[in-house]
Each structure stands twice: as structure tokens, then as C-alpha cells.
Amino acid sequence: MTLRPVKSIEPGIAASVVVVILLCFVSIAIGAYSLSVIDLVRGDAEFHDSMVMATSRIPRTLAIVLVGMSTSVCGLIMQMLARNKFASPTTAGTVPAASLGILTMALLVPGATMFMKMIVATLFALVGTAAFLLILRYSPMRSPLAVPLVGLMFGGVLGSIATFFAYRYDLLQSLSAWTEGDFSRVLKGRYELLWLSAALTVVAYLAADRFTVAGLGESFATNLGLNYRRVTVLGLVIVATITAVNVVTVGAIPFLGLIVPNVISLAIGDNVRRAVPYAAIGGAAFLLVCDIAGRLIRQPFEIPISAIAGVIGSMVFLVLLIREAPRGS
Amino acid sequence: MIEVDNVTKRYGSTTVVDSVSLTIAKGGMTAIVGPNGAGKSTLCSMIGRLIPMDEGSIKVDRFDVTATKGERLARRISILSQENHVTARLSVEDLVLLGRYPYTHGRTTVEDREHLEATIDFMELGPLRHRFLDQLSGGQRQRAFVAMVLCQDTDYILLDEPLNSLDMKHAVAMMKLLRRVCDEQQKTIVYVVHDVNIASWYSDRVVALRDGRIVHDGNPSSFMQPEVMESIFEVDVVIREVKGKPFAVYYG
Ligand SMILES: Nc1ncnc2c1ncn2[C@@H]1O[C@H](COP(=O)(O)OP(=O)(O)O)[C@@H](O)[C@H]1O
Ligand SMILES: [Mg+2]
């Protein structure tokens, strides 16, 4: 293995921001109804064009950026708290629990506002993720692979419960809307909750050093005077809320919270203060690329972003798994 | 001063630390020895407030370890556990700098940097400073952990088997270094060690535990007696003088 000095990538942050901004322009420009960004900037655009722009295109691209950033940072926090590289919102029961929460609301309070759904989904996600961490803590399996294995089983159980009730009450269509992320329904007035995810991402950054210390484990954390329980709870609240908000507004994106933080960890390590900006930018870039690919491959049709993310994500995940294998447990 | 007063720890019906009382004055090196399972790690962990006790109390400079705010204690006493499975990919430098967390919570100051540089120099970690922990050998990682604890710069330092996975050269270097820290910076070091010769050679005081009780407590020469050692470890010991100091031979 080659040994890189830790700091060598640091200047990359400016470059990656530029790349994300370029991706944003591409994402805004393409679509079933073609818009000329240049015309818009020059002010030559038709009135109709600027309407499409303001109510649909810009919200959509913004939503992609916000979800990409926050989901990726969520994964990073979870990996530090679980002290396991395979933890993420989708592999640790958070997403299935949040979807179960939304389904419960759809059944019991059909007219609930998005905000109410979000609150209930957050509570479900909190309980689900905490339960997962507890199962992990008391499980006899000590292998790093215990996380995805236990997580997939746990998520499978929650998912089956959700499917059962969705099937009984004819809500399968809606269920797939939460479990399969899709930005085509994002419109002005329907995505603003995502700013809460963005705010919580900033909170995660402000508490970054605490998560680094917690990532050393309970003994080290206690030695350094950190209240380990409190930081775990803070992390869980951030992760559960971001996940619930994202699932309520656009649905779940598979692999995003898993692979982006892992790639960042391999490149620059797990100092959370340093890693959060890269994870955020990386998450946004990954999701923008998935979105652009999904709209270009079968024009004028759109392949759901979660399908593209699943394909790209699973391939990257396999590469990471194979890399990890020789190091063993 | 560390005051351990009648401390007991049980796991189920097994008592692993049994009404132990121990006072460790400020300054000097104290070795804790004893057979496997004697309760050395359990006692250290309780002093370092990593695990709670069932009975008794422990005070560090009059601060009760179970009642004092974690952060305040972290500027007074530090502990390195015996088993450290760190999965986070941190560089040696990042890890050592975390020793300053109790003071500045990650907002690194110039003073923190100075502590970092001094510790890296002192522990001869310069060539390894930019490596990630998972790119180090067991012994190198152990040195990085000890460096983090030294960077924490507390008056009291507890080290549970600091010589874990160190080779002869680095074990001796580590002991000399701890001795220097103790003498030059007036630190109080309590460490668990298996090699009785190391314990007697470098310490001011040797405390022996067996079955959760203190069975010997005194200076190295009172410890380096065949009957004392045989009663603690159940092996035949011959004491010889090497370089003017008692030396125990227990193999063969
Ligand atoms: N978490 C635990 N649960 C049950 N028994 C424990 C636990 N931790 C330690 N013990 C037992 O307590 C005794 C003392 O352990 P320890 O303090 O680690 O000994 P050592 O002197 O070798 O450091 C051993 O018999 C050990 O099996
Ligand atoms: Mg021990």
C-alpha cells in the first residue's frame, strides 16, 4: 500500500466545489422541455421558460444537492458511531423505519401535512436506528460484516411489515414512492423541508470533533472527557431527522450514504472535521451524476435516480468490499 | 493523590476486585503486577472512571471520579486501556492531537500544536506521523496511543500494559521515556506490567494483586524476594544481582 501524506488532497475542496456547480448547470439545463441556460442568463428567455426554471428546474437541482450532501454526511456520522464502515441509513434500519413511520401516518392520519409525516418518520427512524445499535452491541458477531448482515435482516423485517400493511390497504404505490427516491415530483413549495436537512448537516459539522472522539470508542471518549452517551444521542437525532426529512420529500437513495463516506475515508481518513466537507460535496456530486445519467440514457424518458444510484452504488460497494477483504476482521 | 477506598467490583456472583484500599501519592512510578485475571485492569478502569464500582469510592486530588464532570477529570487523569480496537482511520498526528481535546475541543491552538510537536519528538513518531493507524504495526500503534495520552498532559497517567506488543528495544525505550516524563515533568504514573524485572527496575513502588486483593505493596527491593514472588505468581524464583540491582530468574 502506498503511503500518502494526509494533507495532500486538502486543496481539492475548491476544485470539487467548481465541479459540483458545473454539474448543477448541466442538471438544470437538461430535461424533457429543453431550456437554454445561456438565454436565461442573458435575459433572452421566454417568460414560460423562467417559470419552468423557478418552479421546477431549480428546486429539483437544489433538492438533489441538499439530499446528496445530507445523506452522505449521515452515513459518515453513522459509520463513526457504529465504528463500522458498513453502517449507513439504508443498511442500519433507519430508512425502513422512517418509511414504516410514513406508512403509519398514511393509514391513521390520511390528511397529515408533510411536516407531521416528517415528525412521525423521525421518531420511527430514531427508535429503529437505536434498536439497531443495541442489537449490534449485544450481538455475538464481532465481524465488521455483522453490520450489513444484521442491518439487512432488520431492514427486511421492517420492510415486510410495511409491505404487509401497504398491500392490505392498497398503498403499495405510495410505499414505493418513499422507498425509491425520485426527484421528478419536486416542485417549488414541495421541497423546502430539505433545508432542515441542510441545517442539520451544518450541526453535524459543528459537532465534528465530538464524532471523531466518539469514533475511537467509549473508553477513549471517556478518557478525553466526552459524554459518550450524549454524543451518540446527538448523532442519532441528526441521522434520524435528516433521513426522515429526505425520505418524506423525495424517497430513499440506496448506497449514497454508504459508498461516498467510504471513498472519502479511504482518501483522507476519518477526521470528521476534515471529512464532512468532502462527504457533503461528494454526496452532491454523486447524486447529480446519477440524475444527469438517468435523464440522458433513455431520452425523453427518465430512469429513476434511485435505480441509477443502485447500479453505480452497488458496483462501487463491491470494489470496496473486495479491497477490504484481505485485511480481514 | 489517588485515594482508592474499600473498592469492590463484582460480575454476577464473582468478586473480581475485593475491598481494595490504596493511596498513591503525587509523583513517582507505581507498577501494578499480578497473575492473569487478578483484577489489575478492572482496578485501573475504575480509577480511570471507565467502569463503575459496586462499593467504595475513588478520589483523584479530592475529586470523586464517579461524581466529577468528565471534562474536568480529563485534564487531571488519563488512562490507556489494555485492549484498544480503534477502527477509525486517523493519522498518528490526528490521534495524538486528540489528546488536547479536553482543553480545546478540537479548535487547535498554537499551544496544542507545541504539545503535539513535543510529544511526536519525544516518542520518536516523526517518520510515522502522517500514517493512518491501520497502516502501523501493533507496536507502532501502541506507541501512538501512549503518545496521545502523554499529549493529554495530565498529572496522573494510568497505563494498562503499555508494553503490549513492543519489542525489546521499544519496551526499554518506553520505560526510560516514562521514567523521564515522571521525573522531569513531575507526573504520577501507574502502570500494569507483566515483567517483574521491568517493574522493579523502573518503579518506585510495586503493588501486587491476586484474586482481587492487594497481596504485596512496597518498594522494589521488598518485592524482589523469592517468597513474595512465589506467593504471588506460584513459580520458583531465583534472585540474582545484575548491575547492582535485584533480578529475578523464573524460567527453566
Ligand atoms: N465484563 C466482564 N464480565 C465478567 N467478568 C469479567 C469482565 N471483565 C473482567 N472480568 C473478570 O474479572 C477478572 C479480572 O479481570 P481483569 O481485571 O481484566 O484481570 P487482569 O488482572 O488480567 O487485568 C477476570 O477473572 C475476568 O474474567
Ligand atoms: Mg489486564
Q: Concatenate the DSSP letters of all residues of B124-167 into one string.
A: T-GGGTTSBGGGS-HHHHHHHHHHHHHHT--SEEEEESTTTT--
Average pLDDT over residues B151-180: 93
Residues from chain A that touch B76, judged by Cβ atoms under 8 A, are: none
Which pLDDT belongs to residue A146?
Answer: 77
Domain encompassing residue A93: 15-28+35-328
Q: How far is B179 from chain A (nearest CA, A)?
A: 22
Chain A residue nearest residue B157, CA to CA: A223
Question: Which of A327, A292, A257, A278 is CA-nearest to residue A72?
Answer: A257
Q: How far is B77 from chain A (nearest CA, A)?
A: 8
Atom of ligand 1 nearest to the CA of B40: 21
> Element (H or E) spanning A324, and its range?
helix A305-324
Instruction: Using CA atoms of A17, A23, A26, A28 in order, give the dihedral in degrees to the nearest 10.
Output: -80
Residue range B179-236, pLDDT digits in tens: 999 999 999 999 999 999 999 999 999 999 999 999 999 999 999 999 999 999 998 8
Chain A residue nearest residue B92, CA to CA: A6
The structure's pTM equals 0.89
State the DSSP code for B91.
B
Residues in the ligand 1 pocket, defined by CB under 6 Å = B 11, 16, 34, 36-42
Average pLDDT over residues B95-99: 94
Does the structure show a pLDDT above 90 at B21? yes
The span from the CA of A36 to the CA of B222, in Å, is 90
Q: Which residue has the cell 459508498?
A: A259
Residues of chain A with pLDDT under 70: 1-11, 31-54, 141-142, 324-329
Residue range A41-55, pLDDT digits in tens: 555 556 566 666 667
Is any Cβ of chain A less than 8 angstroms from the Cβ of B106?
yes
The total number of structural domains that make up chain A = 1
Which pLDDT belongs to residue A39?
Answer: 55
Residue A2 belongs to a domain: no
The dihedral sign for the CA sequence A37, A39, A44, A48: negative
Structure-model confidence comparison of residues B114 and A321, the more confident one: B114
Site to substitute for ligand 1 among B9, B15, B41, most atoms within 8 A of C-beta: B41
- Residue A192 burial by CB count (10 A; 0-12/13-18/19+): exposed, middle or buried? middle
Ligand with minimal distance to B17 CA: 1
Residue A247 belongs to a domain: yes
Residue A279 belongs to a domain: yes
Residue range A166-196, pLDDT digits in tens: 888 887 777 777 777 778 777 777 788 899 9
Which pLDDT belongs to residue A9?
Answer: 46
The span from the CA of B35 to the CA of B41, in Å, is 11
Expressed in angstroms and rounded, the spacing between residue B30 Cα and the centre of ligand 1 is 21
DSSP string, B10-53: EETTEEEEEEEEEEE-SSEEEEEE-STTSSHHHHHHHHTTSS--
The span from the CA of B158 to the CA of B160, in Å, is 7
Is any Cβ of chain A less than 8 angstroms from the Cβ of B76?
no
Type of residue found at B139: G
Is any Cβ of chain A less than 8 angstroms from the Cβ of B135?
yes
Residue A48 belongs to a domain: yes
DSSP helix/strand/coil, B191: strand
CATH number at residue A44: 1.10.3470.10
Distances (CA, A) of B206 to A245, B29, B60, B164, B166: 59, 9, 20, 19, 21
Atom of ligand 1 nearest to the CA of B42: 17
Residue A41 belongs to a domain: yes
Residue A280 belongs to a domain: yes
The span from the CA of B29 to the CA of B175, in Å, is 10
Which pLDDT belongs to residue A41?
Answer: 56
Residue A4 belongs to a domain: no
Total residue count of chain B as it appears in this document: 252
Q: What are phi and psi of B20, to 5 degrees?
A: -85, 130
pLDDT band at B143 (very low <50, low <70, confident <90, very high): very high
Residue A184 belongs to a domain: yes
Name all domains of chain B by residue range, CATH numbers in brackets: 1-76+155-167+176-252 (3.40.50.300), 85-153 (no CATH)
Question: Which of A298, A216, A243, A293 is CA-nearest to residue A125?
Answer: A243
